[in-house]
Each structure stands twice: as C-alpha cells, then as structure tokens.
Structure 1
C-alpha cells in the first residue's frame, strides 16, 4: 500500500494531474474515470493505492486553508497597485 498527499494541479484531456505535496514537483496522472468524486484544481487530497486501485480522499480543511492563504496574498497584491 502506497499513500501520500497531493494537490490537484489541473484536469485536461480526460486526465487529472496531481502534484506530490509539499514539493509539488513529482506528478501523478490518473484518468478522470478513476476518480469517483468532484474535485477542483487546488484541492488537497490523500491518495492511497490499494491493489492497483486509487482511493482519493479530499482534505477539506487543508484545501480551504490553502485557498484562504492564496486569496489573502491576492488581496495584498491588489492593494499595492
């Protein structure tokens, strides 16, 4: 069993591209058909591989915290103009 945290970078051409957390350099690319829930770019997830099947759990609190941090940075940048 292999499991780790990832951030969903993007969905394109029927594939979800996840970046391994925290460095976000290593990619995990899964077909959209392997994902049984609605995810959005920026979502932090915990992915477990069990018997060649990927189990994905959304880490809601971490995702919301990161989105709030990004929004705060965007607000600061806008105020500097």
Structure 2
C-alpha cells in the first residue's frame, strides 16, 4: 500500500476507523495495536502500511485548518439557530 491521506473518524472496540481524503467515502479500519502512534479523532494523517503495520504521520497544519473550518461552520450554525 502506498502512503495515502486519511481523516480519523472514530475509535471503536480497539479499532481506528479512517476515512480516505478527500471524498471520505472509503474506510480504512486498523487495529490500534498495529499503529505506530496514537491519533486523535478528527486528525488528518498520512498512512503507509508495511507488512501489516501502519506508519502514521499526523499532518498538523491540515488538521488545525480542518478544525478551524469545522469551528467556523459550528459558529455559523449557532448564530442561525439563535436567530430563530
């Protein structure tokens, strides 16, 4: 498997569920013990699989930008809800 970008969607029963970037339609489910480091939900990462082990590089700038965009959308929704 070549190195590919994903977003960590959730953790379930010892597994990490990643969504392939940018469409976020294709899932990659990895046993947490097969990952080289822990990852926070919502993080954008680069993943490379080598012999059943997953090497994860957290893309800090992209993760921060994604979180800022989500916060902006949440703020807009709150303002819209408060007007009604």
TM-score strictly above 0.5: yes
Tell me the equivalent position of 2:53.
53
Q: 8 Å contact 1:44–1:62 — kept in the other structure? A: yes
Q: 8 Å contact 2:8–2:42 — kept in the other structure? A: yes
Distance 2:30 2:38 in 1: 14
The gaps in structure 1 that reach 5 residues or longer are: none
Tell me the TM-score normalized by structure 1. Answer: 0.91
The gaps in structure 2 that reach 5 residues or longer are: none
Rg comparison, structure with higher value: 2
Tell me the TM-score normalized by structure 2. Answer: 0.88
For residue 51 of structure 1, report the CA deviation from its aligned partner.
Answer: 3.3
Tell me the equivalent position of 1:12.
12
RMSD value, Cα: 1.2
For residue 58 of structure 1, report the CA deviation from its aligned partner.
Answer: 0.3
* Partner SS for 2:56: strand
For residue 37 of structure 1, report the CA deviation from its aligned partner.
Answer: 2.1
Tell me the equivalent position of 1:3.
3
- Cα 1:4–1:49 change in 2 (3 A) is same
